[in-house]
Structure 1
Amino acid sequence: MWLYATLMFVALVLSLVYGLTLVPTVTWAHQAGDSGDLLTAVATGGVPHPTGYPSYLLLVDAFRWLPWGDLALQQALFSALCAIATALLVVLLVNALTPVQGWRAAFAGGFAALWLGFTPLFWSQAVVVEVYSLHALFTALLWWWAVVLTPTPTLRKEFRSARPAWRVVLAQQWATPRLAGLTAGLALGNHLTVAASVAALLLLLVWRYFAQRLSRGRNASDGSHPPTPL
């Protein structure tokens, strides 16, 4: 209950603040010098400056079909939604990594998310046409997959109490690495600086693979059954 209430509170607060401060046109303020370039690429179906940002162009193109606002406002709205989603992932990450639970974990997650959401640099990129809010979202997603791949006791508890459909998805050993790989590919298509996080996730996947093989070998030698995922 505390977790869901915190997620709703963070989403409402950031939606209100970002909505009131959203930049509805092309601007060179807030380090958004690429906004005109990105807007032109979306409007004409072209390619902006290298590296081209294909993931950003594919995702933001869906916002062109909103029935209100011009293209600049629609793309700025996309940035705001990516920033809000990033903050919500921060709530989940803190909740999964915090040894205590209940209102204290929810408060810690909400505080961390709002602190991030209101930092000047993050806030400035959340209200303009730029690729960095999506970059932050992909980075948070990569670290969420890292937590799922190496679950803490808190996450195991959340997993056991999750809805059956989610348990079926996350329990499949093939599902999580592939979803993590999909996230990594899309992230690299948005901004190459995410390569550091992708490399860390790749090392984690390699470690998990060899750890599972070692565990299976030990279980086979003593006749026991392999552990259940999560």
Structure 2
Amino acid sequence: MTAISGLDGQEVRSPSNDRHASGLGPAIAGIVALAAYIRTLLPGMAFGDWGEMQTVPHVLGIAHPTGYPTYVLLAAITELVPIGSVAFRANLLSAVLVAGAVALVAAILVRLEVRVVFAIAVALAFGAVGTVWAAATVAEVNALHLALMALTIERTLVWQQERRARDLALVALLIGLALGNHLLTLFVAPFLVCFVMWAGRTTVRSNPRLLVRSVAAGLIGLAGYA
């Protein structure tokens, strides 16, 4: 972080450098995590649910309940990338998603005014947890769940601080997409909704259309079940 001297001789932080550092830290965390995950990535086919999540997107089928439509559609799009086998692409998607979640954890901490170096360290520690790392090495719906939850929380903080209507609509869309991926979202979504309604009670009360648009965005996110 660069500092400049003010008129009184005191050092003043440059806002542009603050923004640069806050963006660079999460990027570093994500890249380091991705490199580690790729080194331990399963190179081919898997068995059980993992094998199912490698094959179902390829045929645009329906997985075991609850179907995981958000994951299936995303994985099907990922298959268009001409890298390795179909199974490898599905596994690689998990590595990218969990690395994105690691970067977003760092971004959340930076937004909460944690020093960048500590944010990177905590994010990498999160990414090194056994269950998190395991989700990053094979086709796994939990990889997308981690990424969507991290992005939803990060965007909720952005909305809470900046109060832009599009951010709230994006939060609602992400919650809908997350529900279309894994029902574990039901344990998180109510707390996020309560936080938004409490933190933005004045904004929502003065602009009912904002609530309507957000509900509509959430329903769009759930469209995968249609």
Q: Please give the range of the TM-score, normalised by the shorter of the 2 chains.
A: 0.7 to 0.9
1:152-191 → structure 2 map (5 Å cutoff): 172=164, 174-191=165-182
Equivalent position of 1:135 in the other structure: 145
Equivalent position of 1:4 in the other structure: 23
Distance change >3 Å, CA 19–CA 43, structure 1 → 2: same
> How many Å apart are 1:215 and its aligned residue?
8.5
Letter in 2 for 1:149: W
Alpha-carbon distance between aligned partners in 2 of 1:180 and 1:214, rounded to the nearest angstrom: 18
Distance change >3 Å, CA 206–CA 45, structure 1 → 2: same
With the length of structure 2 as denominator, give the TM-score of the two structures.
Answer: 0.76
> How many Å apart are 1:214 and its aligned residue?
7.2
1:97-108 → structure 2 map (5 Å cutoff): 97-98=112-113, 105-108=115-118
1:92 aligns with 2:92: no
Please list every run of 5 or more consecutive structure 2 residues that lacks an aligned counterpart in the other structure. 1-19, 208-226
- Whether the 8 Å CA contact 1:26–1:129 is kept in 2: the answer is no
CA-to-partner distance for each residue in 1:148-200, whole Å, 9 max, x for gaps? 2322xxxxxxxxxxxxxxxxxx663x212111110000000000011122111
Equivalent position of 1:16 in the other structure: 35
With the length of structure 1 as denominator, give the TM-score of the two structures.
Answer: 0.75
Equivalent position of 1:155 in the other structure: none
Distance change >3 Å, CA 133–CA 92, structure 1 → 2: same
- Whether the 8 Å CA contact 1:142–1:197 is kept in 2: the answer is no
CA-to-partner distance for each residue in 1:3-32, whole Å, 9 max, x for gaps? 33323322332122111111022234xxxx
Letter in 2 for 1:79: S
Equivalent position of 1:219 in the other structure: none
Alpha-carbon distance between aligned partners in 2 of 1:21 and 1:106, rounded to the nearest angstrom: 27
Equivalent position of 2:184 in the other structure: 193
Give the number of the structure with larger relative contact order, counting CA–CA contacts within 8 Å between residues 6 or more apart.
Answer: 1
Equivalent position of 1:34 in the other structure: 49
**Structure 2 residue matching 1:150: 3-state secondary structure:** helix
